[in-house]
Structure 1
Amino acid sequence: MIDIVEEVPAHAGAREALLDLCFGDERFRKTSERLREGRLPVFAFSALDESGRLVGTVRLWSVADRNGNQSLLLGPLAVDPACRGSKVGDRLMRHALNQCAVYGHGSVILVGDLSYYTRFGFEAGRLDDASLPGPVSRERFLGLEFAAGHLAGLNGLLSAAGLADLAGPTAATQDLYPVSKLV
């Protein structure tokens, strides 16, 4: 049995270990990471197995264009390799998207595989007027609308929005991105 719960501070170590297992240090080099750095997620959910062990995670972050039009950036989504095939990722995604809709967010964007994310309603080609701060394969730049026309309202370079993380960068990101290089 898997429970989907709101992430709590006690999950942080297990979440980081899972992300390292699934993505390694490469995750800190991704374009989407530029939008997560120094920010707190709007939503963060953990999948816990019957023993309370974290076996999945998904987080969503606020981004905005130069006109203040906002969307949520989903990612990363990770599932313990031992649990793959048991629909943990699907449950995390459906729970996260449901919360986005319930709380009135107009859209969610992500960089990912269309073959996986199409089952949740994501589409390619919906973000032609928006860009991210770094290289992104356009066919992997996907969007999902909860409010008609919301994605069409996103124009230009998207930047981080939402609450700043006053605790600062983690030890892992400090090694890869020293403060002197984040300016």
Structure 2
Amino acid sequence: MHVEVFIRQSLPKDFESISQVVELAFRDEEMSDHHEHVLVGRLRVSDAYVPELSIVAENGAGQIIGHILLTKIRIEDGENEEDSLALAPISVLPKFQNQGIGSRLIRAALDKAQNLGYRSVIVLGNPEYYPRFGFRKALEWGIHPPFDIPEDVFMALELVEGALNPVRGIVKYSEPFNESASEPM
């Protein structure tokens, strides 16, 4: 079934719908703590939030069916640090998954980030999925996650060719990523 989809920047009126989409998208995911919707809410009120990089997919009826969020992070190596973005989370309502909506959201978000002058994006995700967008193992640039995970799920993408060549270090996620979902907001 083909669904008409519009991709646009999210608006404050979308926030409740976004929370529902994110929660439903991750409800049956085994590799999830099922608190991604809480994370999105925390990121939205943090210094890491870039309104232009909160993007929704809307169907012809005006229903929000997907969402992607890119937020500011840093790659730190002693005295040196490089600004980057984290792609997390991306969500599509289960009944609309596997129809290319997630891919459209990713492309739209990466294009917007590049237009805003960002140079790179980091993702923790499926190593079978993200390489189609140009993501490669972050370790190829000497970029490491701040926690212990398999190296093939931690990937980076240069939005500007060569942007990560001089970069080394550990990714420093914004505070909302480090807060326990059980903590009060």
Instruction: Give the alignment's TM-score, normalised by structure 1.
Output: 0.78
Which residue in 2 is equivalent to 1:44? Answer: 54
Which residue in 1 is equivalent to 2:81? Answer: 68
In structure 1, give the amino acid aligned to 2:106. Answer: M
> Following the alignment from structure 1 to structure 2, what is the Cα–Cα distance between the partners of residues 151 and 174?
30
Shift of 1:12: 1.0
Instruction: Give the alignment's TM-score, normalised by structure 2.
Output: 0.77
Matching of residue 108 in structure 1 with residue 121 in structure 2:
yes
Q: What number of residue pairs does the alignment pair up?
A: 167
Shift of 1:134: 2.7
Greater Cα shift, 132-141 or 68-77:
132-141
> Following the alignment from structure 1 to structure 2, what is the Cα–Cα distance between the partners of residues 155 and 177?
32
Which residue in 1 is equivalent to 2:171? Answer: 158
- In structure 2, the residue corresponding to 1:158 is in which secondary structure? strand
In structure 1, give the amino acid aligned to 2:49. Answer: P
> Following the alignment from structure 2 to structure 1, what is the Cα–Cα distance between the partners of residues 165 and 183?
33
In terms of fraction of residues, the more helix-rich structure is 1
> Following the alignment from structure 1 to structure 2, what is the Cα–Cα distance between the partners of residues 59 and 125?
20
Shift of 1:124: 1.6
> Following the alignment from structure 1 to structure 2, what is the Cα–Cα distance between the partners of residues 28 and 137?
22
Which residue in 2 is equivalent to 1:10? Answer: 13
In terms of fraction of residues, the more strand-rich structure is 2
Matched residues, percent identical?
25
In structure 1, give the amino acid aligned to 2:121. Answer: V
1:64-115 deviation line (CA, Å, top 9, x unaligned) = 1332311111010111111123211111111111112222211111000121
Which residue in 2 is equivalent to 1:26? Answer: 33
- In structure 1, the residue corresponding to 2:147 is in which secondary structure? coil
| Structure 2 runs not aligned, ≥5 long | none
Shift of 1:40: 4.2
Which residue in 2 is equivalent to 1:149? Answer: 162
Q: Which runs of 4+ in 1 moved over 3 A?
A: 35-40, 125-128
Conserved 8 A contact 1:129-1:152: no
| Structure 1 runs not aligned, ≥5 long | none
- Aligned residue among 150, 160, 164 for 1:137: 150
Which residue in 2 is equivalent to 1:89? Answer: 102
- In structure 1, the residue corresponding to 2:128 is in which secondary structure? helix
In structure 2, give the amino acid aligned to 1:53. Answer: Q
Which residue in 2 is equivalent to 1:122? Answer: 135
Shift of 1:174: 7.9
Shift of 1:21: 1.1
